[in-house]
Amino acid sequence: MIAELGHFALILALVLACVQAVVPLVGAQQNRYALMAVGRPAAQAQLFFLLFAYGCLTWAFVTSDFTVRLAAVNSHTATPLIYKITGVWGNHEGSLLLWAASLSLWTVAVTIFSRDLPEAFMARVLGVLGAISAGFVSFTLFTSNPFTRLLPAAAEGRDLNPLLQDPGMIIHPPLLYMGYVGFSVAFAFAIAALLSGRLDAAWARWSRPWTTAAWVFLTAGIAVGSGWAYYELGWGGWWFWDPVENASFMPWLLGTALIHSLAVTEKRGAFRNWTVLLAISAFSMSLLGTFLVRSGVITSVHAFATDPARGLYILVLLVLVIGISLTLFAWRAPRLTGGGSFALMSRESTLLGNNVLFAVVTGAVLLGTLYPLFLDALNMGKISVGPPYFEAVFVPLMVPVVVLMVIGPFVRWKNDDSARIVRRLAPGAIVSVLLGVGLAVVVGNFTWRTVLGLALAAWVLIGSVQLLRARVAERPGAAAGAGVRLRGIPAAWWGMWLAHLGVGVFIIGVTMVGSLESELDVRMKDGQTARLAGYTFTFRGVVDAPGPNYLAARATIEVARGERQIATLTPEKRLYLAQQMPMTEASLDIGPFRDVYVSLGDELEDGSWIVSLYHKPFISWIWLGCTLMGVGGICAAADRRYRRLAERRVPAAATQSA
């Protein structure tokens, strides 16, 4: 009964999405307020029904109602409660429902936080979002109904894929989806602007906090996902350039470009058609990613079980959404020009340079991801494009991006004196190069990669300090204390500063772990020791440690540095019963300057165990860097400037209603 209620709620949500897609758009076109006003309640009611449907599906999982096919295939009575709940999105149908619910959540957020948008503009935004929602809810209903019954019921469920039974997987998909789907808001704003012909600084200002918010979610989602891969896959890798990872990385790259391009459009009115194109492309990449994961055109460890009918439906959806918006772009964009002149040495050109490079990187990643498909389609053989290709392409293109990132904030809008910039930044750059060379020698890895990475990171950090000092010095009211002047700096500036600093921290992590990590595979028996990177590992035997839905052998390994005991690690080897799937559960000692990582292999005939030991210097800096970027994004999105209009409006609204 509950499942039927959920199914019915989903149908109602589809009807509401269609209403939301059509009525407000017609209203905006004919300037009829009554029609425009339908958008908001439709969006809110749609959210209610989608959440209700989602709740019903979760109920089937939690109560182990195996008459619902999806629960029978992805859950089990012995699965821990938390993984029953997260199991809902650990499959194609449920994750699609989560996708639709996130979209609805964003739509309702727009109706709440962007109250002050002109009514016609709001109506168009809601119409576009409604159309996307209608596409995805119908996709769910017609090809991937999560509420399909299984009669007679299965006696027992098949359990959630053990790889997904992990704390990282509890938050990774919702964050990632909120990010993916969040770009739909920037997209809807761009389409609404194209429809109304109103593409100005105000439009850019309305879009900015939404774009940044989506970017924060996507950043967090990708970071959590890579953290999950790091400790769950059992050998300490954290990024694989897998097609599905690329699918989430491409919208991130374009989203980053969009954030910067929007800044120029808001401040100077320039790059308007480029910004619109980026807004369309960022969301298109999200849709393309969804297509790649769910259609089966590309092999990936992440891909869902596939079905050509689904692939076709989503491709048609893709062609409609992106095709129509790009046609609209080709029709309206030629009218958008202006923005005033700027010189080579200007904030505009550094930001445009950043945009160009991000677009090229995205293009390269897209090329590498789809090239095997192109060759196959043209019957020219099968190839694999893997990490070596992407690294060879990505690193050289990102180095100038980082350089521009350091220079950009020092450069004035419109026109600046090159000599002034060089005088300003050259000392820091020289010190950084020397630091890079010196540090590479000190850590004993004098390769061009290490030197380059450390020098770049050093320059980012030095540049950040210089930038902060310059900002404090130039604030008016120099007589006031530094504290007062620091407080006078707007949140958006802090956001930029933190995010850029985060990039520096991230580079340190990547460089250090890339050049200094070490590993050792040993056979260990009770009491035996092994040494790696100055640490001593003592094996203290293996005990049985069964869990709710798995059997496990748990080893105890003491880690010492010299005489000092540092940690006791307990890696496990599990056998998940329902799927008879063996898993290694690594155990880590996380530290600020290194992780010690141990995973347990097979037992040998003589009673010893194969143990893999890893030393990963500075690896947590990778996620620290991502965290700084995310926090920076939150600061930027929360800047008061974006709310000022709203605050000013409140008394007016109050008087009107009074």
Partner 1 sequence: MPAERFLHSLRTAALLLACCAAGAAHAAGEAVPVSDDPVLEARVLALSHNLRCLVCQNESVAESRAPLAVDMRNQVREQLAAGKSEKEVVDFLIARFGDFVVFTPPFKASTVLLWLGPAILLVAALGAFALRLRRRQQEVPVPLGEAERVRARALLEAAPPPEEPYK
Partner 2 sequence: MKAKFLVPLVIFLALAGFLAYGLKLNPREVPSPLVGKPAPAFSVAQLQAPEASFSSADMRGQVWLLNVWASWCVSCRQEHPLLVELGRRGVVPVVGLNYKDGRADALDYLVRHGNPYTTIAVDPEGKVGFDYGVYGTPETFLIDREGVIRYKHIGPLTREHFERVLMPMITELSRAG
Residues 491-520 that bind partner 1 (CB under 8 A): 520
Using the rule CB under 8 A, give the single segment among 42-50, 335-343, 487-495, 571-579 that binds partner 1. Answer: 335-343
Smallest separation (angstroms) from partner 1 to the CB of 400:
10
374 binds partner 2 (CB under 8 A): yes
Cβ proximity to partner 2, 277 vs 492, nearer residue: 277
Cβ proximity to partner 1, 207 vs 219, nearer residue: 207
Q: Is 443 helix (H, G, I), strand (E, B) or coil?
A: coil
Choose which of 152, 334, 381, 607 interacts with partner 1 (CB under 8 A). 381
Q: What is the DSSP string of 23-74?
A: HHHHHHHHT-HHHHTTHHHHHHHHHHHHHHHHHHHHHHHHTT-TTBHHHHHH
> 149: which DSSP letter?
B
The 588-627 contact track toward partner 2, x by CB under 8 A, reads ----------------------------------------
Using the rule CB under 8 A, give the single segment among 94-102, 155-163, 275-283, 621-629 that binds partner 2. Answer: 275-283
235 binds partner 2 (CB under 8 A): no
653 binds partner 1 (CB under 8 A): yes
Q: Which does 333 bind (CB under 5 to 8 A by kind): partner 1, partner 2, none?
A: partner 2
312 binds partner 2 (CB under 8 A): yes
For 219, half-sphere exposure in the C-beta direction (CA atoms, 13 angstrom radius) is 26
Q: Are 432 and 455 in contact (CB under 8 A)?
A: yes
Smallest separation (angstroms) from partner 2 to the CB of 95:
20
Q: What is the DSSP string of 351-412?
A: HHHHHHHHHHHHHHHHHHHHHHHHHHHTTS------HHHHHHHHHHHHHHHHHHHHHGGGSP
Q: Which does 579 bind (CB under 5 to 8 A by kind): partner 1, partner 2, none?
A: none
| Phi, psi (degrees; rounded to nearest 5) at 572 | -125, 155
Distance CA 550, CA 619 (A): 30
Instruction: Specify whether the backbone of 618 is left (phi greater than 0), alpha (psi in -120 to 50) or beta.
Output: left
Using the rule CB under 8 A, give the single segment among 178-186, 347-355, 369-377, 498-506 that binds partner 2. Answer: 369-377
385 binds partner 1 (CB under 8 A): yes
Smallest separation (angstroms) from partner 2 to the CB of 321:
11
Using the rule CB under 8 A, give the single segment among 162-170, 275-283, 295-303, 430-438 that binds partner 1. Answer: 295-303
Smallest separation (angstroms) from partner 1 to the CB of 342:
5
Smallest separation (angstroms) from partner 2 to the CB of 295:
6
**572-576 and 564-569 beta bridge pairing:** unpaired
Task: Kindly report the number of other CB atoms within 10 A of residue 654's CB atom.
Answer: 9
Strand-pairing partners, residue 587, are 598
Distance CA 437, CA 439 (A): 6
Distance CA 525, CA 604 (A): 10
Cβ proximity to partner 2, 320 vs 344, nearer residue: 320
Q: Which does 580 bind (CB under 5 to 8 A by kind): partner 2, partner 1, none?
A: none
Distance CA 163, CA 229 (A): 10
Cβ proximity to partner 2, 33 vs 374, nearer residue: 374
The b/e string for 451-479 (b: 16+ C-beta within 10 A; e otherwise) is: bbbbbbbbbbbbbbebbbeebeeeeeeee
| Tokens representing residue 173 in the block | 């998909």
Q: 580 exposed, middle or buried (CB, 10 Å; 0-12, 13-18, 19+)?
A: exposed
Strand-pairing partners, residue 552, are 574
Using the rule CB under 8 A, give the single segment among 44-52, 246-254, 256-264, 364-372 that binds partner 1. Answer: 364-372
Nearest to 510 by CA among 432, 398, 612: 398
300 binds partner 1 (CB under 8 A): yes
441 binds partner 2 (CB under 8 A): no
Q: Which does 291 bind (CB under 5 to 8 A by kind): partner 2, partner 1, none?
A: partner 2
Smallest separation (angstroms) from partner 2 to the CB of 203:
19
| Tokens representing residue 603 in the block | 């037992």
Nearest to 54 by CA among 185, 227, 174: 174
Smallest separation (angstroms) from partner 1 to the CB of 507:
21
| Phi, psi (degrees; rounded to nearest 5) at 367 | -60, -50
Task: Kindly report the number of other CB atoms within 10 A of residue 336's CB atom.
Answer: 20
321 binds partner 2 (CB under 8 A): no
Q: Which does 341 bind (CB under 5 to 8 A by kind): partner 2, partner 1, none?
A: partner 1
Cβ proximity to partner 1, 464 vs 515, nearer residue: 515
Cβ proximity to partner 2, 331 vs 446, nearer residue: 331
Smallest separation (angstroms) from partner 2 to the CB of 296:
7
Strand-pairing partners, residue 569, are 557
364 binds partner 2 (CB under 8 A): no
Cβ proximity to partner 2, 147 vs 313, nearer residue: 313
Smallest separation (angstroms) from partner 1 to the CB of 150:
29
Site for partner 1 in 197-236 (CB under 8 A): 202, 233, 235
Q: Are 96 and 72 in contact (CB under 8 A)?
A: no
386 binds partner 2 (CB under 8 A): no
Using the rule CB under 8 A, give the single segment among 100-108, 244-252, 373-381, 402-410 that binds partner 2. Answer: 373-381
| HEC string for 573-598 | EEEECCCCEEEEECEEEECCCEEEEE
Q: Which does 645 bind (CB under 5 to 8 A by kind): partner 2, partner 1, none?
A: partner 1
For 464, half-sphere exposure in the C-beta direction (CA atoms, 13 angstrom radius) is 20
Nearest to 189 by CA among 318, 290, 325, 98: 325
Cβ proximity to partner 1, 480 vs 652, nearer residue: 652
Site for partner 1 in 633-652 (CB under 8 A): 645, 648-649, 652
Task: Give residue for tokens 């159309």.
Answer: 131
367 binds partner 2 (CB under 8 A): no
Which H or E run includes 457?
helix 448-474
Choose which of 2, 153, 610, 638 interacts with partner 1 (CB under 8 A). 610
Q: Which does 515 bind (CB under 5 to 8 A by kind): partner 1, partner 2, none?
A: none
41 binds partner 2 (CB under 8 A): no
Smallest separation (angstroms) from partner 1 to the CB of 239:
13
The residue ranges that bind partner 2 (CB under 8 A) are: 273, 277, 280-281, 284, 291, 295-299, 308, 311-312, 315, 318-319, 322-323, 326-327, 329-331, 333-334, 370, 372-374, 376-377, 381-382
